[in-house]
Amino acid sequence: MTTFQRNSPLLKPFILPCGSKLNNRIAKAAMTERLAGKNYFSNKNLCNLYGKWSDSGAGLLISGNIMVDKKHKESSGNIVIEDESGLNQLTKLTKEATRNGNHFWAQISHPGRQATIFSTLNPIAPSAIKLKKLMLFAKPKAMTSLEIQDVIDRYVTTSVICKKAGFTGIQIHAAHGYLISQFLSPNTNKRDDNYGGSIENRSRILMEIITKTREQVGPNFPISVKLNSADFQRGGFNEEDAFYVIDQLEKSKIDLLEISGGTYENIVFLTKRSEKNSTRKREAFFMEFAERVRIKTNIPLMVTGGFRTLDFCEKVIENNELEVIGFARPFLLDESFPSSFINKIGSKIEDASFNFPIKKIEDMAEGGFYDYQIHRISKNKKIKKSYSPYLAVLRLTVSEIYKGWFR
Ligand SMILES: Cc1cc2nc3c(=O)[nH]c(=O)nc-3n(C[C@H](O)[C@H](O)[C@H](O)COP(=O)(O)O)c2cc1C
């Protein structure tokens, strides 16, 4: 287990509304691992990866996308939990991931239309509107009312199994353009039933999932939601919608709200491209929105995206602007993060930089680079910052095709 050598505000414990204690304010945010085995079960590599991240000293680890339905996956390498058939493997995973007394939450998700043809040929979505990106996505079928109820039940079933397997909490993924986020957005939700139209209707699926899950997991089990501040697309989910949803989430007594933003069509959660560095007031991507949320809600807040200097992170916690800070890529740039970061006053994390001429697949190059680092850590190999973005695109594509079509 890592020892921290400074008395940083980031190391203060925090008690969640449900009564559970986070040992400190540092969270490893969700990063899809694409490591699951043949039956979409957990395995040795995942245990190894999360054992190491538990040793890192972070108070909270959030898993990558865990899917509720084998037929609908964000990646061919996702863990899928539909029933208890993979319970033994999951229990081994949670044991390793919590071996230092930290929390380990399952991020529960359904991709809807945002699943490539490598993992899902017949996607479903609120409405039959295709994702326009690189011709990698099939046109989805609009969900029937029965299919909506089935998805809600699946979220609840997966959450209950996660609790049984030893996860210490769950996070409902309602951001980044996946299924729930598609319901929230007027661009992708054109339904004229109870699940479309007003923001009350568009957020109904999320609220039903939370209410039914809470009934099953009880009052003492942490439930978190990852929500977009906005989709950053004209006519999409916007700040006003987000404020309505946050108000409903407060009434439903969630334990932690993680703020992010964007979808595959505009991946601001990785780059915040819509806002130039020179005009951005604060280093982290969604802090200005978080300031406005802070005034409106008492839900504990976590923001993920762009936190890179210790000074800024410490001020944000010291000034009570957030309860938890989420870090994703920093865990893939330095094996000894976060202790190396916290132990040195004035430290700054340098992102990997990509000089990739083909702009259209730059996202894939970046995703592929970080995916490769996850795979290396899971196999006890050192992070390799010199990895080529060309190879990254190739490796990721081949791996998705192989696992999706030939396994
Ligand atoms: C390789 C990789 C995989 C990711 N997978 C997920 C995921 O499964 N679920 C999710 O909510 N966010 C995912 N993200 C987004 C991160 O959680 C985070 O919001 C984003 O990387 C910004 O944080 P950072 O600047 O600290 O990296 C992923 C990011 C990366 C780099």
Q: What is the pLDDT of residue 274?
A: 42
- Structure confidence by residue, pLDDT tens digits, 164-213: 999 999 999 999 999 999 999 999 999 999 999 999 999 999 999 999 99
143 lines ligand 1 (CB under 6 A): no
43 Cβ below 6 A of ligand 1? no
Q: Is 327 in the pocket of ligand 1 (CB under 6 A)?
A: yes
Q: What is the pLDDT of residue 280?
A: 57
Q: Which two tokens stand for residue 402?
A: 């192989």
Atom of ligand 1 nearest to the CA of 226: 11
338 lines ligand 1 (CB under 6 A): no
Q: Mean pLDDT across the chain, nearest whole number?
A: 94
Question: Do 224 and 254 contact (CB within 8 A), yes or no?
Answer: yes
Task: Please report the domains of the chain, with CATH numbers, ordered by start residue.
Answer: 14-353 (3.20.20.70)
Residue 327 has pLDDT above 90, yes or no: yes
Read off the pLDDT of residues 347-370 as tens digits, 9 standing for 90 and up: 999 988 877 777 778 888 889 999
Atom of ligand 1 nearest to the CA of 366: 31
pLDDT of residue 363: 82
**What percent of the chain lies above the pLDDT cut of 70?**
97
> For ligand 1, is residue 30 a contact (CB within 6 Å)?
yes
- Strand blocks (E) in 143-233: 169-174, 223-228
Q: Whose CA is nearest to atom 31 of ligand 1?
A: 329
Q: Ligand 1 pocket, 26 CB below 6 A? A: no
**How do residues 304-321 score in pLDDT, each as one tens digit?**
999 999 999 999 999 999
Contact indicator for 318, 9 with CB cutoff of 8 Å: yes
Residue 122's alpha-carbon distances to 91, 383, 407, in angstroms, are 31, 36, 18
- In this prediction, residue 390 has a pLDDT band, given cuts at 50, 70 and 90, of confident
**253-305, pLDDT tens digit by residue?**
999 999 999 888 888 787 754 445 544 567 888 999 999 999 999 999 999 99
